[in-house]
Structure 1
């Protein structure tokens, strides 16, 4: 069988320009001569398997789209399967390609086996959902439907994101983040009066009187976000309505929640326009404090926005994001990485986010490893939102953000962690009910799919042992 030849000169050149690399610098990075690189960029020579491996290792984010439409399905599936950390070191690209070309039946069977393994993991997650779901109603609640809608959309809504970006350009004239003054002028041009009213809701809009009131006691970035929400609800009404109309939701309440969720998404995209925000995030290595100052946003808003940078051909680094309350409940969550959150209940008690809730206003950093062997660098920060009154306790919660350890060079918070030392890595899980770790002192429940054994003559920190057999 003839070896597949991959010509990707235009994509390679665009990648080099985006990363601001000269031809000689890019050639040195790939271990080839500048003249050879020039031939590749002009599609005079194809990429070799060795070069595709170097590109994947040097540019793991861009590689997701680099050759996605140029490989056959069986090869793509086999590469996904052989990249699983449970197999150990990733196999060389030329070996994977040779197997896919010379032994396609085996390659398909191996990819199917890996897919069945992945689905088994998802079934365990479904057990977690079944145990935590509303047994009275027997189905998902409206907010759960909307949460799952955003999850399946990969937390990126292209039509809304691009429309908000265009609107930001019109407001600011530069493509940068619009100011509150610019947003107020736009609203007033649509006949909407903006007023500050203390003691009321954070944001209230009277559609009859065309009057928007904002509470001046809320933090300035919160007030700015609420103004952006109203602007997006007005300026992107048709785009939001079209998406809600096509969504397969079961109730009017879910459709209303999705409308609000898309409005919030649009507000974040308006304040932090995609291309401008993505470029600054990469340039600053995702330093959240610098980004929040640059865009006039809150710590949580910046973290959430970083998790939405999934535009095809212009992705940010894959991030996970969540918000956890004082009781350990996950009230917001999204992951563009392989890490998945528990659908119900709390997260692993060993995760640094719980410490952050107890010790606010400080960034906590952790290197963690999931049961599948994938390592992550995550940060968490406890936040306190003032209530404005002694008789109303302030809201306390923590937000967490992280990426896979393979991308640590792009994440400024990984600079102080020695990822090469096993002792520096905390071994965590998704939730106790679906975590396979049998040597965890913090375990609250045994895994749902494993039998336990109890020895009345011995007691350890956890009062039972976990077997390798299914329950």
Structure 2
């Protein structure tokens, strides 16, 4: 634990632990932070305190680890205040490291209230964006479908459900195997719950999994790949093992449609299955060590590409957070069928997504990873990867399901995201300007615009024809 002497912060033990965890020698770490090796050695030996400027350098080089390792109240307050001021809303504010530190030390109550106010503003902006999205897309009132209510519930929870996640992690520790083999899951189902597993050919209805409670029989479609089969078995195990935890969380939800409650229970069981196959701490630490290389994570934990991407977007446990990622799945028609963002990027809930987004190209090119450096209208840049996937149908009479998944983070985390290595982050010409959707995007000069932004008048010149046949007033 970092210790303070007066207003001076000493964190030698935390610095050494951080350096060992990220696998850097003193010279490499000093170079990354911009210090001399001798200065870093003095910091690690508690011969020198960490000044505000040095603390900011570590926070910039290791944004997740540094905020966690210097875990005193003042440091946590400083981390949240720094994150708030990183919002493009304050782009013109001249607030440097010294000012932030003075605010934390001299006005801690004000700092806390400022962070709360900013957080409330962000939530209000998201709600306003939802209303704008609904109006612009012609969706009257709160006419969300039950599955949309459940989707938004997970979004509002930050896509992290603490009691379910911890219970699944405890179950994984009890089973004590990594990766968790199919035979061990089958053994747990049989000996803990009397459930037998059989495989059945496709009956023409696209059956993936069917559970007969009366007979204690789990049937899995024979066309499913090993990763999907294993996930289905894990789903059934957590549904039985964590039934109380799932029921307790679902009981606290507030939905308009009655059908949303069973959908939430299924969603929570899916969440728990992912947490069982990829236990929180082990998966997060492995992901950091592999720089979030999805293919290597799939090999290590025996999961599919989509399952690994989705799990990475859930690593938001307080005090043990992973990198904030956004994740989505898009079908051939451009519909976003899964979405979550732990970043400032938010997806359109109604209508289509930005056509410049690389995920659309990935749908048409299965099994190839594409990368993109994108910038939203607010100026925040993201590094992202997308991969097209094909799920077999098991029959010539039914077309396979084709879609793409995308995973990305803000550019400040690029060093820990292996896919950013293929991008020229310092080249302004390598940036692709994207938006949430055409109806919400304020960009005036975009050749891919499908609709004018809602609420903006347009001008049409009958004697001139550009790529977009109108201009915005």
Q: How does the TM-score come out when normalised to structure 2?
A: 0.87
Deviations 1:78-119 (A, max 9, x none): 534432346169843113334677899998999899779754
Asked whether the 8 Å contact 1:133–1:139 carries over to 2, the reply is no
- 1:217: how far off? 1.5
Of 396, 420, 429, 1:423 maps to 429
CA pair 286-184 structure 1, distance change in 2 beyond 3 A = same
Of 324, 329, 341, 1:323 maps to 329
How far apart in 1 are the matches of 2:448 and 2:9? 50
Which residue in 1 is equivalent to 2:132? 127
CA pair 29-389 structure 1, distance change in 2 beyond 3 A = closer
Asked whether the 8 Å contact 1:195–1:213 carries over to 2, the reply is yes
Of 266, 273, 281, 2:279 maps to 273
- Does residue 1:95 correspond to 2:99, yes or no? yes
Deviations 1:400-451 (A, max 9, x none): 1111122112111111211111111111011111111111011111112433
Aligned ranges for residues 370-385 of structure 1 at < 5 Å?
A: 370-385=376-391
Which residue in 2 is equivalent to 1:366? 372
Which residue in 2 is equivalent to 1:296? 302
How far apart in 1 are the matches of 2:117 and 2:457? 25
Asked whether the 8 Å contact 2:11–2:44 carries over to 1, the reply is no
CA pair 15-103 structure 1, distance change in 2 beyond 3 A = closer
Which residue in 2 is equivalent to 1:39? 46
SS of 2:211's equivalent in the other structure is: strand
- Does residue 1:348 correspond to 2:348, yes or no? no
Which residue in 1 is equivalent to 2:210? 204
Which residue in 2 is equivalent to 1:185? 187
| CA RMSD, 1 decimal | 3.0
CA pair 293-89 structure 1, distance change in 2 beyond 3 A = farther
Asked whether the 8 Å contact 1:61–1:318 carries over to 2, the reply is no
- 1:377: how far off? 1.2
Which residue in 2 is equivalent to 1:434? 440
CA pair 109-252 structure 1, distance change in 2 beyond 3 A = closer
Which residue in 2 is equivalent to 1:161? 165
- 1:28: how far off? 6.7
Which runs of 5 or more residues in structure 2 are unaligned? 1-5
CA pair 63-249 structure 1, distance change in 2 beyond 3 A = farther
Asked whether the 8 Å contact 1:27–1:37 carries over to 2, the reply is no
How far apart in 2 are the matches of 1:88 and 1:70? 28
CA pair 71-140 structure 1, distance change in 2 beyond 3 A = farther
How far apart in 1 are the matches of 2:180 and 2:315? 19
Aligned residues: 458
How far apart in 2 are the matches of 1:394 and 1:38? 59
SS of 2:415's equivalent in the other structure is: helix
SS of 2:456's equivalent in the other structure is: coil
CA pair 427-24 structure 1, distance change in 2 beyond 3 A = closer
- 1:187: how far off? 0.5
How far apart in 1 are the matches of 2:387 and 2:162? 29
